[in-house]
Amino acid sequence: MPPRDLALALVVILVWGMNFVVIKIGLHGIPPMLLGGIRFLLAAVPAIFFVRRPAIPLRWLVAYGATISLGQFAFLFTAMAVGMPAGLASVVLQAQAFFTVALGALLLREPFRAHNAVGLVVAAAGLALIGAEGGAGMTTMGFVLTLCAALMWGLGNIATKKAGKADMLGLVVWGSLVPPLPFFALSWWLEGPDRIHAALASIDGSSVFAVVYLSFVATLVGYGLWAWLMSRYPAAQVAPFSLLIPVIGLAAAAALLGEMPTAPQVGGAVLVMVGLLINTFGRRRGQGTLSGTVR
């Protein structure tokens, strides 16, 4: 990956690392399904009037919006609302790398080499340690729902690959048309009209900031760049970069929200980072030993 594209990947990491703190701030004033609906409505409108619809089959546009937007954030917002700390959510969500690489190999016949397998096993051990430890405000339901969000992200990555060489900004913008109505329907059903009215009537500056950040920075900037990278490189090469997100997520949650993970959870996060290093650099360091033996 050339330096320019590596820099773009690092921008996404910074944006999404801070994203978890912003979500937590937004959830203080807006319930999760309503927050999701507002986020993607603002991401789609008015941008659809200025960005051309991507020239891809409608089914892949809907699949992208239904997985990486609706599915991922319905689970993630709910997880954080029921007790998943922002910093730990940034770590657990990286299970998407496992789902993406596995689905890429299964559905797209992309290479799956030994260094990919070793790196994912190490990172999976870290996630298992985090899940088994509990504590630090983390609930079992929050942990499970965050894993479900990771699966949706992985499926969305595959939909991005299947969409082909489309206008990636168009894919993000027009894909954002899919989630709002389902989110608002879920909000009416699960959260109720009284809670919706109360949230909108008492919205404050921090909630407005969260909505703006999530709609424009995290969605249009973050997913636009991510989708572009996924369209140019194999999923196994791009997805592991997201494992750097917990570095920002954990640090930001500790500094801004006062979240302090337990020692085993920190150890699990370190294992996740080691898994990323193996995935990213294993082939370069291990030509003939780790690379090329598993496909």
Please answer whether residues 45 and 173 qualify as being in contact, where contact means their C-beta atoms are separated by less than 8 angstroms.
no
Q: At 284, is the pLDDT very low, low, confident or very high (cuts 50, 70, 90)?
A: low
The conformational region for residue 117 under phi > 0 = left, psi -120 to 50 = alpha, else beta, is alpha
Residues in a beta bridge with 135: 138
Give, to the nearest 10 degrees, the angle between helix 32-44 and helix 3-27.
140
Please state the φ and ψ torsions of residue 142, each to the nearest 5 degrees. Answer: -60, -40
Up-side HSE of residue 174: CA atoms within 13 Å toward CB? 23
- CA separation for the pair 98, 56 (Å, rounded): 27
Least Cα distance to 243 among 161, 150, 169, 172 occurs for: 150
Please answer whether residues 252 and 18 qualify as being in contact, where contact means their C-beta atoms are separated by less than 8 angstroms.
yes
Joined tokens for residue 164: 């082909």
Residue 286 confidence (pLDDT): 44
Of the ranges 105-114, 232-241, 272-281, which is most confident? 105-114
pLDDT at residue 292 tops 50: no
Instruction: Report which secondary-structure segment, H or E, holds 183.
Output: helix 180-186
* pLDDT tens track for 180-215: 999 999 999 999 999 999 999 999 999 999 999 999
Lowest mean pLDDT among 27-36, 82-91, 100-109, 175-184: 100-109
Q: What is the pTM of this model?
A: 0.85
